[in-house]
Amino acid sequence: MSELVLHVTGARPNFPKAAPVIAALEARGVPQLLVHTGQHYDERMSDVFFRQLGIPMPDINLEVGSGAHGAQTAAIMTGLEALFVERRPAMVVVYGDVNSTVAASLVAAKLGILTAHVEAGLRSFDLTMPEEVNRMVTDRLADVLLTTSVDAVAHLGNEGVHAERIHFVGNPMIDTLLAHRDRFDPAPLRAELDLPQTYLVATLHRPGNVDRPQDVQELVQAMHAVADQARVVVPLHPRGRDRLRAAGFFDHPQMQVVDPYGYLEFMGLVRGSAAVVTDSGGVQEETTILGVPCLTLRPNTERPVTITHGTNRLVRRETLAEAVREVLAAGPLQDWPVPPLWDGQAGPRIAEVIVRRLAGAR
């Protein structure tokens, strides 16, 4: 039987999660194949991560590009099915909640190939989020469920997942953050962007904020009220950019819109900021470790541990400006809680689970 472990990545958030898992399995001599579906195909959104994080360049890039959810997922499934049949891996490892994740899980399940889901069990309980659907389907199909938090373990248990399939291993993205934290220097971008000592960072791309015209207009008003208080640097995702521009998002003199940065540059920018406004999942986790106040512009989060054991809080558009005012008045955090097992050793724990599962499958 093949001993090959095949990793499927496809979007920017997958790469810092995959890096420590790949390194830990390599240290144990496990043969691996890294597949990039090309779901995010802009160089700033993907290739730069491989260089900066020391991940080997993908063995295979499907180059599916962007598109509607159904078309993109179908294209990924078509490409992966041919690859899985040809290489017949012993296990497929998927990450997070993007379309590449659910596509790989579906193909592997139908071919009878073991699947491990890194970051299993997260739930927002909001089925209007495509990512929530992807999470639920992937967890239903996966043989090995690798969780980052205790609440994720509880969600899987409540859904009837057998305890033997669930492994609380911690957060591999935090492994990557801790390994590179000394390289997160805000000074270069502060100089390049001519930033004041106190500035904010914002990342906004979720459908609930940037798809409907009314939501976009409310978001622009809310963010302009934030920019009235401090400079806001916005590394803007391609999603929603045109709608935000048309609604006047760019027009405030304190709103500094830039293209997305590489991992090290972005994390340096975040580390030097007074606070972050976001609708991203990963940023909630990164700020939790860095001790940067995080205001998540969503009605819910699949990462509640960043609220109970971190720096995160949920805000609405109508309360955002006041929340920013409070954060700026309070000043930098001196101490804050950190979630259990977010200690930089999730990669080795995941590798141990995978090796034991493969041994049991022989």
Provide, rounded to the nearest whole percent, the portion of the chain with pLDDT above 70. 97
pLDDT digits 0-9 by tens, 263-313: 999 999 999 999 999 999 999 999 999 999 999 999 999 999 999 999 999
Looking at the structure, do residues 21 and 102 belong to the same domain, yes or no?
A: yes
Q: Is there a single domain that holds both residue 140 and residue 205? A: no
Q: Which of 117, 205, 224, 309 is catalytic?
A: 205
Q: Write the CATH number for 86.
A: 3.40.50.2000
- In this model, does residue 35 exceed pLDDT 80? yes
For 192, the domain range is 185-330
Tokens of 359: 């041994």
Q: Are residues 163 and 17 part of one domain?
A: yes
For residue 335, being part of any structural domain is answered with no
**Same domain assignment for residues 94 and 151:** yes
| 348 and 325 in a common domain | no
Helices 172-180 and 346-361, interaxial angle, to 10°?
A: 140
Q: What is the spatial order of strands in the sheet that 294-297 belongs to?
A: 255-258, 231-235, 199-203, 275-278, 294-297, 312-315
Which two three-digit tokens encode residue 180?
């590179």
Percentage of residues in the chain having pLDDT higher than 90: 86
**Is 354 in the same domain as 301?**
no
**Is residue 292 domain-shared with residue 158, that is, in the same domain?**
no
Q: What is the pTM of this model?
A: 0.94
- Same domain? For 23 and 146 the reply is yes
Residue 205 is among the residues annotated as catalytic for this protein: yes
- Do residues 191 and 324 both lie within one domain? yes
Examine the pLDDT at 1 and tell me if it is beyond 60.
no
Same-domain pairing of 15 and 47: yes
Provide the pLDDT for residue 186.
Answer: 97
What lies within 8 Å, CB to CB, of 152 at 6+ separation is: 120, 121, 122, 123, 168
Assigned domain for 122 exists? yes
In a domain, 324, yes or no: yes
pLDDT digits (tens, 9 = 90+) for 134-184: 999 999 999 999 999 999 999 999 999 999 999 999 999 999 999 999 999
Pair 163, 93 in one domain? yes
* 44 or 185, which is more confident: 185
7 has pLDDT over 80 = yes
Residue 180 domain flag: no
In a domain, 337, yes or no: no
Tally of domains in the chain: 2
> Residues 197, 151: one domain?
no
Examine residue 176 and state whether it is found in any structural domain, yes or no: no
